[in-house]
């Protein structure tokens, strides 16, 4: 069970004591009331409070509690804890009631799949009209829980300093007749694993060449029994479960939470990230779904940008294909959005490069959660819940064609390639692209130029120059370049393409063996002196916002295939350098 506080985010995970097999490393008595006193907000004091992790034993349960800062700067840690939680606790000041931060945390808890909510009205000993203030909080909490579909497990007036109503009922609040905080926690129902279907994500595989029959992981749902017929979601292959082992020996039955190694009766195509289930309860696959998510990164989230998606042990590349709307955390009103900022709660559609085993969070929480991770910094940028698969994901399949790219390349007499010219405005991209195509045409090569200005006359005429529009601009261009390369052409693109992530997305989509990134590294001051379109002058006087190199960033390539400074090299020299990259047949040297 996990908890969340108004000033502190507190994550609590509980289990009956008889089910716990962990050594009781911290069985010394704890003073739970001391844990409820929220420190001042990190915003007020210019600091972010560190999270703490502690364990509490009651008569019924062993409780694992993560106490996390409610400061927006601690959002990432709060989300990480909440995604593993069973319940959420809001600790509020009785004198202030359910403020906007507490309401946001309740909304966030529901969005991340937490089912149960408790509210601790703290500092009841300092409130001048405690009974009346508590009644107001109780009514507001009931409305808040109903609004977000949470089960309200209790609203308890407490004093963290004096311990009132924390471990036991206090005579100092005669107007309150409910249980103490710890009793309320004890009364929250456990998940019943026996009613869930078996889900076993593979963490490690013992290979025998390409195939394997031994794999390790943890049962995240249901029960596995020796003799069960299991199915691999990715391949549809089935096999009987012959043996279950743990560090303590063999088992006949493994319940939810068990870390086990299983041996199947025959070798299957198994890899880390595969999900096994009972053969008569198969898990669905999807590569497009609608999701609710919270954005955690200070860097804006844009549709079309590629991230790593993690769901259980599964990992694949994914992108936000559409930002449907942002949700106001206080009113739930839907708001149109072009990009996501830190703390935004949003509904969006997600596309993955490879199908993943999934279920909606409401049906199977363990397969309904996911994280998005920045591919460069490795930081978590978003946490989300899968709402449902998109029907078009099931109905649209790649058509197998008789004539393939290799056939077209043979007909053309040269390999297909994409030559991606990137650099500031005025660096010489269009000039060099034109001269390069003329040289290739003279050699009998089949070519086509995709030029930034030309593309914006038609395909991308609906896009502006915000960061979100630039991301989408390059995503479309990369898809078109990939199609033209599949037709066997040598494609030359001339776009500023300011963001490293989108250029790397294009390389991944097209294939590194057919992709050449050419950085025209002409200095900004040289580009400004050329300024054939007068853009820099207008940007300097404020007439043009979002001008790359002036008011919008340009991220130079870290390791391009070729770097050319056109202030030092002529057009002919630049063309010869690029041709040397292609080789005599148009392929990579």
Instruction: Give catalytic residues, as residue numbers.
Output: 497
Q: Which one, of 86, 121, 88, 87, lies nearest residue 105 by Cα?
A: 88
In 3-state terms, what secondary structure has residue 153?
A: strand
Cβ 11 vs Cβ 89: under 8 Å? no
Q: Cα separation of 30 and 538, whole Å?
A: 66
Q: Cα separation of 267 and 67, whole Å?
A: 45
Cβ 501 vs Cβ 472: under 8 Å? no
Q: Cα separation of 237 and 184, whole Å?
A: 46
Q: Cα separation of 408 and 489, whole Å?
A: 9
User: Distance of alpha carbon 576 from its chain centroid, rounded?
Assistant: 43
CA distances from 261 to 210, 224, 251, 274, 280 (A): 19, 11, 10, 14, 22
Task: Specify binding-site residues for ATP.
Answer: 423-430
DSSP at 111: H
CA distances from 559 to 291, 401, 419, 516, 517 (A): 35, 36, 15, 11, 9
Cβ 349 vs Cβ 324: under 8 Å? yes
Tokens of 107: 């909304």
Q: Which one, of 75, 65, 3, 67, lies nearest residue 38 by Cα?
A: 67
Q: Cα separation of 437 and 432, whole Å?
A: 8
H runs (alpha helix) in 6-149: 32-36, 42-45, 75-82, 100-111, 130-148
């Amino acid at each position: 069970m996990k908890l969340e506080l108004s000033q502190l985010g507190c994550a609590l995970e509980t289990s009956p004591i008889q089910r716990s097999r962990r050594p009781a490393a911290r069985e010394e008595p704890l003073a739970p009331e001391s844990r409820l006193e929220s420190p001042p907000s990190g915003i007020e004091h210019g600091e972010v409070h560190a999270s703490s992790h502690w364990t509490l034993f009651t008569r019924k349960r062993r409780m694992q509690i993560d106490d996390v800062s409610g400061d927006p700067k601690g959002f990432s840690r709060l989300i990480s804890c909440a995604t593993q939680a069973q319940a959420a606790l809001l600790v509020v000041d009785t004198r202030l009631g359910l403020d906007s931060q507490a309401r946001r945390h309740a909304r966030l808890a529901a969005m991340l799949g937490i089912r149960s909510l408790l509210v601790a009205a703290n500092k009841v000993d300092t409130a001048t009209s405690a009974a009346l203030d508590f009644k107001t909080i109780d009514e507001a909490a009931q409305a808040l829980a109903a609004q977000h579909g949470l089960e309200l497990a209790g609203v308890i007036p407490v004093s963290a300093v004096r311990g009132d109503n924390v471990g036991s009922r206090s005579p100092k609040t005669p107007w309150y007749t409910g249980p103490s905080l710890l009793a309320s926690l004890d009364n929250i129902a456990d998940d019943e694993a026996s009613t869930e279907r078996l889900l076993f994500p593979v963490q490690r595989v013992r290979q025998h060449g390409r195939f394997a029959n031994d794999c390790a992981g943890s049962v995240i749902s249901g029960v596995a029994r020796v003799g069960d017929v299991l199915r691999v979601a990715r391949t549809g292959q089935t096999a009987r479960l012959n043996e279950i082992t743990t560090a303590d020996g063999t088992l006949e039955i493994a319940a939810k939470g068990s870390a086990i190694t299983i041996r199947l009766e025959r070798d299957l195509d198994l890899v880390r990230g595969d999900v096994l289930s009972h053969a008569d309860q198969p898990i669905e696959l999807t590569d497009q779904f609608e999701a609710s998510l919270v954005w955690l990164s200070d860097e804006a989230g844009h549709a079309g940008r590629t991230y790593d998606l993690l769901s259980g042990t599964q990992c694949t590349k994914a992108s936000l294909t559409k930002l449907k709307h942002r949700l106001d955390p206080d009113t739930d009103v839907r708001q149109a959005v072009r990009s996501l900022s830190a703390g935004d709660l949003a509904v969006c559609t997600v596309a993955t490069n490879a199908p993943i085993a999934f279920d909606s969070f409401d049906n199977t929480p363990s397969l309904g959660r996911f994280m998005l991770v920045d591919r460069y910094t490795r930081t978590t940028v978003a946490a989300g819940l899968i709402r449902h698969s998109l029907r078009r994901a099931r109905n649209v399949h790649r058509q197998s064609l008789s004539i393939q790219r290799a056939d077209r390349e043979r007909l053309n007499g040269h390999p297909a390639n994409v030559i991606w010219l990137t650099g500031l405005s005025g660096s010489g991209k269009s000039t060099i692209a034109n001269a390069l195509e003329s040289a290739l045409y003279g050699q009998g090569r089949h070519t086509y130029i995709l030029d930034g200005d030309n593309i914006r006359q038609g395909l991308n005429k609906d896009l502006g120059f915000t960061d979100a529009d630039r991301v989408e601009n390059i995503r479309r261009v990369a898809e078109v370049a990939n199609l033209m390369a599949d037709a066997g052409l040598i494609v030359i693109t001339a776009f500023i393409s300011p963001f490293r992530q989108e250029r790397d997305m294009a390389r991944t989509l097209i294939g590194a063996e057919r992709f050449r990134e050419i950085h025209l590294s002409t200095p900004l001051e040289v580009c400004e002196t050329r300024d054939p379109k007068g853009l820099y002058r207008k940007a300097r006087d404020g007439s043009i916002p979002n001008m790359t190199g002036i008011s919008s960033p340009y991220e130079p390539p870290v390791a391009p295939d070729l770097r050319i400074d056109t202030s030092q090299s002529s057009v002919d020299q630049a063309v010869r350098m690029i041709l040397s990259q292609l080789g005599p047949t148009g392929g990579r040297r």
